[in-house]
Amino acid sequence: MSKKIIVSNTIYQLIGKLFTTVSTLLVTVFITRKLGAVTFGEFSIVLSYITPLFIICDFGVNAIVAKEFAKDKNAIYTHFKSALFLRIVISWGLIALGLSILPFTPYSLVVKTSILIGMLLVFTQAVFNGCNIIFQTNSSYKFATYAQIISSVLAVLLVSISINYHLGLLYIVGSFVLANLSLAFISYYTVRKYVTPRAKLVNFNYWKKTLTDSSPLGLALILNTFMVASDRLLLSFLATPTDVGIYSLAYKIFDGILVVPTFMMNSAYPFLVKKLTASSADFKLSLNRLVKTLFGLSILISVVIILSGRFAISFIWGIEMVSAYYPLAVLVSGLFT
């Protein structure tokens, strides 16, 4: 396993995630301090409804296709175009599903309209994550990072304008959509050379094979998504927007904490596949080292957050949101598992 490549790609991913995390941090600070906990709660409800859809949209396709491309680079030119369009088709289906359920939810008209606008995020994430297949296979996460930096800066600028002019929730969500459209466009522009004219856009045989191979991962992803997102969705149905906002803030912080282990695994995955193909002993040795490193990081991160989380939340988001520390402490304790 090339440690230099893994480290460099992990750093690039961390930089990209740093920008997205900081931009999200700034947005949450702007909303909680200028518009209050209720508006932040409504914003959290919108994201809680949409986020499971673009997580499910992956359905394990990236892992299967990235594994295929890592073994045969020529397959990129013949199958990437169809794989990307498959991701887009899945996103369209999930958008239709989300919109069909929306009228039966107990949300306010403003929240429902914001969700309607925000559904475009499912499409933009499908394009970005589809392009990530190339970034992962070629170990070129720097291009994904550039796209994330630009979209993050744009999101902060547009949201800050919406908040300063008190334009409301619809414009805040619309700002995120515009920023993510730029993310999708830049990502696609970067990998466009792999979308060759001779490759099929719709390849039902390839789609069938890919979905069949990815179905175990996809079903596990769906179950995991419902397990993870069900708490926030239930809160959005049963609790006040303020309660949803407090819990969502805790979860956003927790999601940011998971950056390092997640991206280390993303960077290591193509090399682990090659190691497994070449030598079982080398694969086990590399995997063992990686697991030990991740376990040590989980202990360090958990201790730091538990000791400093309460002060950090109060200082950044204000005393009104300090209750988010308690669900955060519970979530962080799960890092050890």
Average pLDDT, the chain: 83
Contact 98, 119 (CB under 8 A): yes
3-state secondary structure of 199: coil
Distances (CA, A) of 99 to 53, 85, 90, 119: 11, 21, 14, 8
The overall longest dimension of the chain from CA atoms, in Å, is 61
- pLDDT for the residue 150: 92
Q: At what angle do helices 61-71 and 120-137 cross, to 10 degrees?
A: 20
| 124 vs 294: CA distance, rounded Å | 30
| 74 vs 257: CA distance, rounded Å | 36
Tokens 């299967």 appear where? 64
Tokens 């397990």 appear where? 227
Residue partners of 140: CB distance under 8 A and separation at least 6: 9, 134
Q: Which of 44-58, 96-110, 220-234, 278-292 has the highest mean pLDDT?
A: 96-110
Q: What is the pLDDT of residues 152-185, one digit of tens each?
A: 999 999 999 998 888 889 999 999 999 999 999 9
| 144 vs 133: CA distance, rounded Å | 11
Return the ∠ at Cα 102 (arms to 99 and 104), rounded to 5°: 140
The candidate with the shortest Cα–Cα distance to 16, out of 186, 175, 213, is: 186
Is the pTM value of this prediction over 0.85? no
- pLDDT for the residue 185: 93
3-state secondary structure of 59: coil
| 321 vs 14: CA distance, rounded Å | 27
What band does 122 get if pLDDT is binned at 50, 70 and 90?
Answer: very high
